[in-house]
Amino acid sequence: MADTRKPPAAEKKANRRGAARLAAVQALYQMDIAGAGINDIFAEFESHWLGNEVEGDTYLPAEAAFFRDVVSGVVRDQKKLDPLIDEALSKGWPLKRIEAILRAVLRAGAYELEHRKDVPGRVVVSEYVDVANAFVDREETGMVNAVLDQIGRQFRSDEFGR
């Protein structure tokens, strides 16, 4: 039987990316709710959250460049991403009616599906379903999966068509 475990370096990178995704969603949520600016968010997250203990929770070291790319990419492309997400959502449930934390998850996932071709599309969907799971119940994570899968089919039909 073949050994299917990831080599330690790949696992470490995946964990650092997962931590970066979680931090990016939290940063986008904070920007949405509190109206914080991107430079303030970068300074706060990079000095206080990434790889540190906050309120008793230790945050994994995150891949800072990946974190910055996702957050800045969502901010830059939000006017383009929101209509894509709206289209993928069930009729009658526009993005503005979705909880702020889920908006952040969907925006980050949609951004990554469009721009981070170095990450397999199904991995992107799975990772953001896991991130959503940290904040919401199973029914809502199913919605995240369905919406990101639909967006993935638009940007990466070759991967999702299989």
Burial of residue 156 (number of CB atoms within 10 Å: 0-12, 13-18, 19+): middle
User: Are the beta carbons of 93 and 109 closer than 8 angstroms?
Assistant: no
pLDDT at residue number 50: 55
pTM confidence score: 0.84
Q: In the Cβ-directed half-sphere of 43, how many Cα atoms lie within 13 Å?
A: 5
- Residue segments in the chain with a per-residue pLDDT below the cut of 50: 1-12, 53-55
pLDDT at residue number 104: 96
Phi, psi of 57 (to 5 degrees): -100, 130
Distance CA 139, CA 108 (A): 19
pLDDT at residue number 138: 80
